[in-house]
Amino acid sequence: MAFSFIKKVFTFGPKPEEEQAPEAVEARVLESELEPHSREENLPVAADPVLAEEMETAGGPADDVGKDASVEELAEQAEALAPKEDDVSDVLPAEVQAGDMGLVPLSLLEAEAQAETGAPAESTIEDTLPAALPLQPGSGDRPEDEGGVAEVASVGETEEAPAAGLAAEADAEQEPIADPISPAAEEISDRTGEDDSSSSDPFAAPVLPKGFATGPTASEPVALVPPPKLSWFQRLRAGLARTSSQLTGQIAALFTKRKLDDETLQDLEDLLIQADLGVETAMRVTDTLASERYGKDVTGEDVSRIMASEIAKVLKPVAKPLQLDLSHKPHVILVVGVNGTGKTTTIGKLAAKLSGAGLKVMVAAGDTFRAAAIEQLKIWADRTKSEFIGTKLGADAAGLAYDAFEQAKAKRCDVLIIDTAGRLQNKAELMAELEKIVRVLGKLDPDAPHTVLQTLDATTGQNALSQVEIFRNVAGVNGLIMTKLDGTARGGILVAISAKHKLPVYFIGVGESVEDLEPFEAEDFAHAIAGLGQ
Ligand SMILES: Nc1nc2c(ncn2[C@@H]2O[C@H](COP(=O)(O)OP(=O)(O)OP(=O)(O)O)[C@@H](O)[C@H]2O)c(=O)[nH]1
């Protein structure tokens, strides 16, 4: 038969005197196939988990496979005796190509088994064929038939009819043909003690490799562990980390082994002013420190505590909630500020909070100066399920504000938030536009806009002080939101602005995502900026 030539020319595995179980022999040959680059024979690759399983159970890879005969000798003999591999693949059905684990590797197994034991291998060609490819009786396809050619011919015959048809036409007396993975299946059922009588039944449930089980999938979904959620204070502290670490680092350096004297007090005052806290707050801190600790040893932490306490005193009066008068339907919030300070993003975050609380919100893209701002606001509106009103680029922003107010009224919106441009060709033009928007809204409701919110970018430092001055005069700003407190060392500016303008600070932003905007809390902010815990 076909394997007789292989057993003469290939010697696989350990020395013949070693008694080896056929499965172990098979496993070594398969191992050689799984590592084609390590084998001069260049056997077909059988990257199949079932084969890998066999390998493992047979004791792992055999390092000496194929080392007994010289490759050249083997090749010569093989060529003389064997049908060409091409011939085999020519006659194989497309789905059973030479090199597929179902045929050639197991043929080699058989050859090796014969070489080892001197007896015909138990594994036969039937074992190597798919169940849908039964052998034809009397066609030289029995193991005892002579020569590989006959065996190949039998495979060829099967190829002539569709596989399914062949299965249907199979002679009733014909022996059942084992599934190509039956050796593995048998081995597994041997190990598990299961009845293997079904291994040749094409309708039998597949035998799964070790470690798998049949049956419905686990009903309990695997619980995904969400990343630990940071509290707002933790996010605030993280956001203000640059401001606080710079401040506390400098304070600690200043007070290392020094008693509190006039010089250190002056140095501290300078340091606090440079940190944008403002002259007023800086003096409050140094005065309190002097009255409590003059002439004594002072640590950086002592200073941080006093600083936090004084900052909190400045901030408390301005840390107020944004009052919504919902009797207005809508309560109109006009958002103003220099371009890039975070107006559009903040509107999105506010809309998320309000609509999340069940209020009906409309957002109006009054920044007709910048196309991206209109698109950006539309995205926020979609995301927050808010009503959206926009107009074309360059259109009159006051006209849009008017339309928005009317539509928001008609739709019974609770809140209307209007975005505005932060940059026009010149400041006078910008201010004229803002004044017009306020005037137009006032025609529909003399109290509108009910809130004029200004966004301030913390990274601009001292510049934010004059921005408030300007917008307050033009648009009647009556509340502030400070953004971008994350990633800046200039967060102290909020203290200076609060001390100077005394305008309510409603929210602060420490990042771009929706949860990064939270109501302003004086104590939290003061502690975070001083690097202290809550
Ligand atoms: N890191 C950080 N980025 C922010 C914060 N708030 C807004 N931004 C980002 O700042 C950039 C500018 O924000 P916008 O909302 O477009 O600012 P704008 O004032 O509407 O700008 P214009 O439309 O040009 O007037 C965007 O990339 C925002 O994601 C914040 O609190 N922290």
pLDDT tens profile 166-181: 333 333 334 444 443 3
Atom index in ligand 1 nearest the CA of residue 420 equals 25
Instruction: Look at residue 456 in the predicted model and tell me its pLDDT.
Output: 96
Residue 188 burial (C-beta neighbours within 10 Å; 0-12, 13-18, 19+)? buried
Instruction: Look at residue 34 in the predicted model and tell me its pLDDT.
Output: 33
348 is in an annotated binding site: no
340 is in an annotated binding site: yes
Cα separation of 453 and 446, whole Å? 18
Instruction: Look at residue 533 in the predicted model and tell me its pLDDT.
Output: 81
Beta strand 479-483 with 451-457 is parallel
Distance from Cα 352 to the centre of ligand 1, integer Å: 16
Residue listed under structure tokens 């009786």: 137
- Residue 336 DSSP symbol: E
421 is in an annotated binding site: yes
Cα separation of 98 and 89, whole Å? 5
180 closest CA partner among 94, 107, 103, 89: 103
In order of 126, 135, 446, the CA distances from 87 in angstroms are 19, 18, 95
Peptide bond into 206 cis (omega under 30): no
Interhelix angle 279-293/493-501, nearest 10 degrees = 100
| Cβ proximity of 214 and 208 under 8 Å | yes
* ipTM entry: 0.95
**Going by C-beta distance under 8 Å and a sequence separation of 6 or more, which residues neighbour residue 417?**
333, 335, 347, 350, 351, 361, 362, 363, 364
Identify the structural domains of the chain with CATH numbers, from first to last: 2-200 (no CATH), 232-318 (1.20.120.140), 331-523 (3.40.50.300)
> Largest Cα–Cα distance of the chain, in whole Å?
115
Instruction: Look at residue 219 in the predicted model and tell me its pLDDT.
Output: 56
What are the backbone dihedrals phi and psi of residue 364, each rounded to the nearest 5 degrees, phi first? -120, 130
167 closest CA partner among 121, 206, 200: 200
Residue listed under structure tokens 């194989």: 92
| CA-atom Rg of the chain in angstroms | 42
Cα separation of 254 and 320, whole Å? 35
Measured from CB, residues less than 6 Å from any atom of ligand 1 are 337, 339-345, 367, 370, 373, 422, 455, 483-484, 486-487, 509-512, 516
Torsion of CA 100, 105, 106, 108, to 10 degrees: 150
Q: Up-side HSE of residue 527: CA atoms within 13 Å toward CB?
A: 14
What is the DSSP track for 178-229?
PPTTHHHHHHHHHHHT---GGGG-TTSPPPPPTT---SSPPSSPPPP-PPPP
Beta strand 415-418 with 331-336 is parallel
Atom index in ligand 1 nearest the CA of residue 337 equals 19
Query: Which amino acid does the sequence have at 352?
Result: A
| Cβ proximity of 77 and 8 under 8 Å | yes
| Cβ proximity of 532 and 305 under 8 Å | yes
**CA triplet 445, 450, 454: central angle to 5 degrees?**
135
Q: What 3-state class would DSSP assign to 423?
A: coil
Residue 345 burial (C-beta neighbours within 10 Å; 0-12, 13-18, 19+)? buried
- Residue 298 DSSP symbol: -
Instruction: Look at residue 35 in the predicted model and tell me its pLDDT.
Output: 36
Cα separation of 399 and 327, whole Å? 24
- How many residues are present in the chain? 534
Cα separation of 213 and 231, whole Å? 43
Sign of the torsion angle spanned by Cα atoms 456, 460, 465, 468: negative
Distance from Cα 236 to the centre of ligand 1, integer Å: 18
Instruction: Ligand 1 pocket test: pick from 236, 334, 335, 344 the residue with the most ligand atoms within 8 Å of its Cβ.
Output: 344
Percent of the chain that is helix, strand, coil (3-state, to 5) = 50, 10, 40
* CA-proximal residue: ligand 1, atom 4 (nearest): 512
Q: Which residues pair with 483 in a beta bridge?
A: 457
CB atoms within 10 A of CB 470: 16
Instruction: Look at residue 428 in the predicted model and tell me its pLDDT.
Output: 85
Below-70 pLDDT ranges, the chain: 1-206, 208-228, 424-425
Instruction: Ligand 1 pocket test: pick from 367, 374, 483, 525 the residue with the most ligand atoms within 8 Å of its Cβ.
Output: 483
What token pair was written down for 420? 């505005």
Distance from Cα 342 to the centre of ligand 1, integer Å: 3
Distance from Cα 533 to the centre of ligand 1, integer Å: 29
